[in-house]
Amino acid sequence: MPKKIVYIEDDFEMTYLIKMILERRGYEIIATNNGLEGFEIIEREKPDLVLLDLMMPNIDGWDIYHQLKSDTRTEQIPVIVISAKAQPIDRVLGLQIAKVNYYISKPFRPQELIECVESILN
């Protein structure tokens, strides 16, 4: 069984790129551009990993993250933030305060994404 990853991202081109990169590595990617729908998918699918954009139109990525971590059914699912918020303070907030597993700033190298995903799932 391939490892299952839910990716919540409002940029369709970024979604396509990340799906292509990770599906070639054998992962099953379930993507949505809607944060509210993404949370429902996570509850239903219980993925091995969540990839999460922070800046989305209908719900902020941090809101989704806090919902995940406050729900006993989803609190153990690792999260990698992939965001255009690339200031050092954003990384500190994500890694030190919120305790996300990894914080990847856009633009990024595909190898960086692969290394982060594989360090969690393998």
- Number of residues in the chain: 122
Residue 59 pLDDT? 86
Q: Is 90 or 45 the better-scoring residue by pLDDT?
A: 45
Domain 4-121 top-level CATH class: alpha beta
Mean per-residue pLDDT over the chain, rounded: 89
Query: Token pair of 67, please?
Result: 């919902």
**8: which strand partners?**
32, 52
Q: What percent of the chain has pLDDT over 90?
A: 65
Task: Report whether the peptide linkage leading into residue 107 is cis, meaning its omega lies within 30 degrees of zero.
Answer: yes
- Residue matched to tokens 């290394």: 115
Return the domain boundaries, the chain: 4-121
Distance, in Å, from the CA atom of 28 to the CA atom of 35, rounded to the nearest integer, reads 19
Confidence of residue 113 (pLDDT cuts 50, 70, 90): very high
Give residue-wise pLDDT tens across range 96-106.
Answer: 556 788 889 88
Distance, in Å, from the CA atom of 75 to the CA atom of 69, rounded to the nearest integer, reads 4
